[in-house]
Structure 1
């Protein structure tokens, strides 16, 4: 194996420190409703990442506060059960925020045709990504959208006749029952 040569006087490369999770907040899970984890450090990171992913450029202080509160309320309303669900929920909120900003930009009156098309294309891709994230969340939760299939057996003996499908009789006559 070849070793890389350092320039004279250059410091030796350092490995990134491994963060240590300890203390009372590490396992209390007081913020579990936000990120789904027993680690409040993880839950805080998810909350911070979600809030930082929002487009706040057009909002005043009150508007920014409302957007941040809404994002955190959405995280809580998704009810993440574990860290994977917390991460998917954060990505869903970020994706929704980005797609809505693309839709907003596409509707700017002074927007040129190319800009409008580009923003609508990005918004469409983000909307599909949101749907995929929702599907992934549901799959993770075991909600695979299974369909119920009902099988009915009908026996037709020799010489008999049958109709397959819906039969509607005319109003006011034609038989005692449908």
Structure 2
């Protein structure tokens, strides 16, 4: 059991609560063994099911309610299933994924409203503008999630590169040139090759 106290100052403690006007001290008791079971970790990425329930509630509340209880429950279940399929590994990923769900739902709602027939052009344009902003937000969140997971990083290994005095080594992306230029960079001496097979080998310039 863990207890979190919110103590008052000594002056407040010396004055009766009804006279000082200060709210009485509150003690929050947490059963760590019970609260960190993580039965719902697949949803929010946390060992704390209290946290996972918050993330699940926040994500499902971003779905537009139809008023049909059966349909609304099916949509909520769909959101929860989506959270599980995106496999949050910790609390940070749980938050990012929940925000991605919210951005997706809001963006699609704006796109839908933009397609309502008979509306004035300003409403149509505003809906599309908001949808565009939300789509950009979604992309930013996805990029942040991938960075957190260590994805999107390219690794290039350089081996056996010798640069003599006065020489120059070129390390970077070299695109294929037009006819008459370098046709096969792989055949160039002292080439630097990337682990990505789709990229060209990189030549190392040196003095003759």
Under a length normalisation based on structure 1, what TM-score does the superposition of the two structures give?
0.72
Paired residue secondary structure (2:63): coil
2:98 to 56, 66, 90: 90
How far has the Cα of 1:141 moved from its partner?
A: 0.8
2:35 aligns with 26
Q: Cα RMSD over matched residues?
A: 2.9
2:11 aligns with none
Higher relative contact order by CA 8 Å / sep ≥ 6: 1 or 2?
A: 1
Question: Mapping of 1:133-172 within 5 angstroms?
Answer: 133-143=141-151, 145-149=152-156, 163-165=181-183
2:55 aligns with 46
Question: Mapping of 1:4-19 within 5 angstroms?
Answer: 12=21, 14=23
How far has the Cα of 1:47 moved from its partner?
A: 0.6
CA 1:63–1:89 in structure 2 vs 1: closer, same or farther (change >3 Å)?
Answer: same
Contact 1:35/1:75 (8 A) holds in 2 = yes
- Structure 1 residues not aligned, in runs of 5+: 1-8, 154-161, 167-178
Deviation by residue 1:73-127 (Cα, 9 ceiling, x = unmatched):
1110110100000011110101100001000110001221100100100000000
Name the CA distance, whole Å, in 2 between partners of 1:49 and 1:111: 31
Name the CA distance, whole Å, in 2 between partners of 1:90 and 1:67: 15
Deviation by residue 1:20-49 (Cα, 9 ceiling, x = unmatched):
542654110010000000111111111111
CA 1:151–1:80 in structure 2 vs 1: closer, same or farther (change >3 Å)?
Answer: same
How far has the Cα of 1:147 moved from its partner?
A: 3.0
2:110 to 98, 102, 108: 102
Under a length normalisation based on structure 2, what TM-score does the superposition of the two structures give?
0.62
How far has the Cα of 1:165 moved from its partner?
A: 3.0
Contact 1:103/1:120 (8 A) holds in 2 = yes
Paired residue secondary structure (1:28): coil
CA 1:116–1:41 in structure 2 vs 1: closer, same or farther (change >3 Å)?
Answer: same
Aligned residues: 148
1:68 aligns with 76
Name the CA distance, whole Å, in 1 between partners of 2:54 and 2:27: 16
2:201 aligns with none
